[in-house]
Amino acid sequence: MRCIIRKTVVVDKIALQKMEWQPDEQGLQQVLHLLRDSQSPNTATQRAVQQKLEQLNQFPDFNNYLIFVLTRLKTEDEPTRSLSGLILKNNVKVHYQNFPPAVAHFIKQECLNNIGDPSPLIRATIGILITTISTKGELQTWPELLPQLCNMLNSEDYNTCEGSFGALQKICEDSSELLDSDALNRPLNIMIPKFLQFFKHCSPKIRSHAIACVNQFIIGRAQALMDNIDTFIESLFALAADEDSEVRKNVCRALVMLLEVRVDRLIPHMRSIVEYMLQRTQDPDENVALEACEFWLTLAEQPICKDVLSGHLAQLVPVLVNGMKYSEIDIILLKGDVEEDEAVPDNEQDIKPRFHKSRTVTLRHEGDEGEEGEESDDDDDDDDDSLSDWNLRKCSAAALDVLANVFRDELLPHLLPVLKELLFHPDWVVKESGILVLGAIAEGCMQDMVPYLPELIPHLIQCLCDKKALVRSIACWTLSRYAHWVVSQPPDSYLKPLMTELLKRILDSNKRVQEAACSAFATLEEEACTELVPYLSFILDTLVFAFSKYQHKNLLILYDAIGTLADSVGHHLNQPEYIQKLMPPLIQKWNELKDEDKDLFPLLECLSSVATALQSGFLPYCEPVYQRCVTLVQKNLAQAMMYTQHPDQYEAPDKDFMIVALDLLSGLAEGLGGHVEQLVTRSNIMTLLFQCMQDTMPEVRQSSFALLGDLTKACFLHVKPCIAEFMPVLGLNLNPEFISVCNNATWAIGEIAIQMGTEMQPFVALVLNNLVEIINRPNTPKTLLENTAITIGRLGYVCPQEVAPMLPQFIRPWCTSLRNIRDNEEKDSAFRGICVMIGVNPGGVVQDFIFFCDAVASWVNPKDDLRDMFYKILHGFKDQVGEDNWQQFSEQFPPLLKERLSACYGVKSKGGLLGNSSMSVCGNYLLLEPKTCDGLRSGAIPLPPALMGMKPEAQGSGSGGRVRSGKIHQLLIGQNDAIQIVQP
């Protein structure tokens, strides 16, 4: 065939010039033969077809044959014609820029001339081909396309009208922004009014196309649609009761999107819309019901939700609850009647691709064991993992979940009577839906559910033994939603029974139950933390036995449960008995997996947590693990370099391998501490790390900076020689557009500063301005704010002369960021830094004293010397302004703040505790040393407005004035040559 096509290329050049291309008959037959072969189920045949297709793509007029088969060979069967068009579509996607103009022109003309083909399949295929060509930049260079398609909508031939509308719908889906741009002279101004006319068409298919086209422009608020918004809404209302389910579905979809972007236009009609959506959520066509159910999810995000729905809860709650039952199709798909399937091998196609989440450094918060910052995973609503498609059951559950968060206790009176009936229903399908309902409302209604939980939790624990696997699995999920309450009760009451039954379900004979139990137990581990320590031996026996029991998919979830256990109990896992149970099966799996096996991802994550928890207990296993991680990073970097240099010869690397390897190295450094130094000595990890820090992929940089920080803490002698190279890279990554990268870079800078001490001075200028900008940035996630504040404090501690001049620019957000952090070494070093900077530049904190008082009071038990620093600063201020002024100032404190400062630092409203200070007030300035008002120079600090006129009682030459009430933000007095604070 190859020589025939080559021959036709020569002949057809002349024909193409006349625009009368005709195929060579023998070549056409071979193309048809190839198309038929491509439908063969035989793998070898498929491979041969693919090779021939690649060969034929070298000849541009091969695409003419393909369009010819699609549009002209009416006698050929439809699947073959359609397949020809789909192969052509793929060629357009990949090679269109190489098509000769004559070939491209021929294809375009054939598409437009045959858009009204009698076959719906062929019309749809041509529509797909047209939109694929248009997305290759051809909308601008195919000016006749949109006008011709719009004109053909007026055709009296149904096929032409429907085919044109189908193509326009696909173009609207793929190119909505371009259609509303000046680049095309805004064709929507003509198209939108045109589409609206067809809402009244006699054909339901045409009506459906028309709504679907307009719907593409709602979210983007296209001006042409906004100009016709009232007509659009009126037209939708007219179609509300349409007999065609596809039309009703598109009407519901339109109303949901309008609720999001033009709720103002819907408010006058909201009562009618709510009643309509209640009907449609019960539509016999599940696709319509699903679209309508989305309305409640979207409405819950609107401020008007409570007002709009309060009167409809009695009708809405039963509708949503009813939608949460498994349908017959669901049960078939989930193999709901299959109880024991643990020995059935997994279908590898059913295992979702797993993406590693790079390591992010976070701080612990006061009274919050499980705080993980803003980027924690949330799989709470993923109760139907095996049903990956969004369906009515999931949507109904999600809607009930969000509405429970809106209405809270107001929802329960409508729900509890229904719930009790469901939970004890003899039909397992109904009972299962009741358990799902109970889980869905857990977050929003938790407080008001508490009185019922002592009865409900034991019932749910009993449901873990139900004879139906789907009941057992949903009971696992719902119990995980109440794990926080379970853990807050005496362990023997609920925690121990729940843990015992969940561990049994981890060894269930049904794979779906195994999965649900493993996930639920991981949630319980996060909540219980060290409460699990007494049961560790029992827990490990179960998890380790599961290794021999689980198929591929659940094995990956088991890794997560083990890693979460290690995170939760920490160093308590470092016991010879536990190590002997846990490590052999993990290392066996580690040795079985090849470097390119993606199952390494969850195993590496698991080992990272285990290594951190075991600390020195991981030493016997660390060397081969460390070396393999270094090898993974090195291979990935080498492959990336080869791909960059020769993209046609090498594949791009999967950088997730590098990311998980870096994160496990971080876990080793954190867990082993100084013991990791010998491993680092024998490797080139610092060179590799420098390359990773400059990778184009943010997640690689994120993990690199986490590793850099951990190595800085564990073996700084290897990091120090690289600081001059590393610091500019860290400075460049202080970009809050990449939150996690910026977070880890910030944290690493702080760790380096502590190790470098005064030698950090040359590098402060590389990072300080960016850090100050980040801490003042609105809507920055709290994890990044906290790490930024810690790092600024640490830089100020080691290089106060460089950082202190900028105190006024960051002191207030600095204090508010760190007030909720629990006492730890990072907080300690940061507060020491702020105290030292106050000594260097006391004027920098004059305006914000109350914030500092609040931040100091957040400490539960500071070290003695840090407490002394706080004491001197607080009493220096109090002694300076005098009793009366201090009284007025402290009146603004919340009662708890007053109590903390009085109890911890003796800062009381009456009776000064300090001797005289050398500071004084002159006019509206605080003087750092006695001098006359005429001598005001650099030693004077402007007073905050609320302190202006306060009469000081400290010695000095300042003049008093009238006392004004008002809020004093923060005035801090520190230690330097001009400020001498006397210890009482």
pLDDT tens string 457-483: 999 999 999 999 999 999 999 999 999
- Would you tell me the crossing angle of helices 62-71 and 120-133 to the nearest 10 degrees? 140
pLDDT of amino acid 843 = 77
What distance in Å separates the CA atoms of residue 755 and residue 405, rounded to the nearest whole number?
46
User: For 133-141, which contacts have Cβ atoms below 8 Å and span 24 or more sequence positions?
Assistant: 133/92, 133/96, 133/104, 133/107, 133/108, 134/171, 134/174, 134/175, 135/174, 135/175, 136/92, 136/93, 136/96, 136/97, 139/171, 139/175, 139/178, 139/179, 139/184, 140/183, 140/184
Rounded to whole angstroms, the Cα distance separating 560 from 526 reads: 12
Q: What is the bridge-based pairing of β-strands 920-922 and 925-927?
A: antiparallel
Tokens of 115: 């858009």
Is it the case that residue 734 has pLDDT exceeding 60? yes
Is 510 within 8 Å of 341 (Cβ atoms)? yes
pLDDT tens digit sequence for 864-893: 999 999 998 888 877 777 788 878 878 888
pLDDT band, very low/low/confident/very high, at 941 (cuts 50, 70, 90):
very low
Residues in the chain: 984
CA angle 729, 734, 735 (to 5 degrees): 120
The token duo for 424 is 């004890």
Is 977's pLDDT higher than 90? Answer: no
Closest CA to 518 of 491, 493, 539, 492: 539
pLDDT recorded at residue 358 = 61
Is the distance from CB of 829 to CB of 794 less than 8 angstroms?
yes
* Band (183; pLDDT cuts 50, 70, 90): confident
Spatial separation of the C-alpha atoms in residues 671 and 254, rounded to whole Å? 54
Q: Which residue has the tokens 């302004």?
A: 881
HEC profile of 608-673: HHHHHHHHHHHHHHHHHHHHHHHHHHHHHHHHHHHHHHCCCCCCCCCCHHHHHHHHHHHHHHHHHH
| pLDDT recorded at residue 972 | 29
Element (H, E) at 942: strand 940-942
Instruction: Give the pLDDT band of residue 355 (cuts 50, 70, 90).
Output: low
How confident is the model at residue 942, as a pLDDT? 38
Question: pLDDT tens across 32-72, in order?
Answer: 888 888 888 888 888 888 888 888 888 878 889 898 989 99
Range with the poorest average pLDDT among 167-176, 529-538, 554-563, 890-899: 890-899
The string of pLDDT tens digits covering residues 586-600 is: 999 999 988 888 888
Cβ 460 vs Cβ 435: under 8 Å:
yes
With contact defined as beta carbons under 8 Å apart, do 975 and 840 qualify? no
Mean pLDDT value of segment 162-189: 89
CA 270 to CA 266: how far, in whole Å?
6
**Both tokens of residue 468?**
């139906």
User: pTM of the prediction?
Assistant: 0.75
d(CA 245, CA 204): 9
What does the pLDDT look like over 151-168, one tens digit per residue?
A: 999 999 999 999 999 999
Q: Which pLDDT belongs to residue 15?
A: 42
Torsion sign over Cα 424, 425, 427, 428? negative
SS3 content of the chain, % helix, strand, coil (to 5): 70, 0, 30
Question: pLDDT tens digits, residue range 244-299?
Answer: 999 999 999 999 999 999 999 999 999 999 999 999 999 999 999 999 999 999 99
Q: Which amino acid is at 942?
A: P
Expressed in angstroms, the distance from the first to the final Cα of the chain is 102
CA–centroid distance for 194 within its chain:
40
Buried b (16+ CB within 10 A) or exposed e, 366-380: eeeeebebeeeeeee
pLDDT (mean) for 99-113: 91
What's residue 598's pLDDT? 86
The number of helices, as runs of H, and strands, as runs of E, in the chain is 51, 3
- In whole angstroms, how large is the CA radius of gyration of the chain? 35
At 356 the pLDDT is 55
State the angle between helix axes of 782-798 and 739-756 in degrees (0 to 180), rounded to the nearest 10: 20
Amino acid at 890: S
For residue 978, the model assigns a pLDDT of: 27
Say if CB 672 and CB 615 are below 8 A apart: yes
- Report whether 847 contacts 808 (CB < 8 A): yes
**848: which strand partners?**
970
User: SS3 of 924, please?
Assistant: coil
- As a whole number of angstroms, the distance between CA 870 and CA 203 comes to 79
The CA distance from 870 to 831, in Å, is 9
CB 80 within 8 A of CB 69: yes
Amino acid at 2: R
Contact 877, 870 (CB under 8 A): no
* Percent of the chain topping pLDDT 90: 62
Q: How far apart are CA 266 and CA 274, in angstroms?
A: 11
pLDDT tens digits, 810-842: 999 999 999 888 888 999 999 999 999 988 888
Look-up: residue for tokens 């620093």? 869
Cβ-based burial of 444 (10 A; exposed 0-12, middle 13-18, buried ≥19)? buried
pLDDT score for 920: 40
What is the band of 847 on the pLDDT scale with cuts at 50, 70, 90? confident
Q: Encoding tokens for residue 55?
A: 């060969």
Looking up tokens 């800078």 gives 749
Task: Report the mean per-residue pLDDT for the chain.
Answer: 84
What is the token pair recorded at 883? 């009793």
Contact 613, 571 (CB under 8 A): yes
Q: Is 178 exposed, middle or buried (0-12, 13-18, 19+ CB in 10 A)?
A: middle
Query: Which amino acid is present at 410?
Result: E
Unique residue bearing structure tokens 């409570």: 306
Q: 844, 811 in Cβ contact below 8 A?
A: yes
Spatial neighbors of 160 by CB under 8 A, at least 6 apart, are: 115, 116, 152
Give the span between the Cα atoms of 217 and 956, in whole angstroms: 72
Section 843-868 average pLDDT: 87
Give the Cα separation of 872 and 981 in Å (integer): 7
Residue 981 is given by DSSP the state P
Q: What is the reported pLDDT for 353?
A: 53
Query: Tell me, what's the pLDDT at 75?
Result: 87
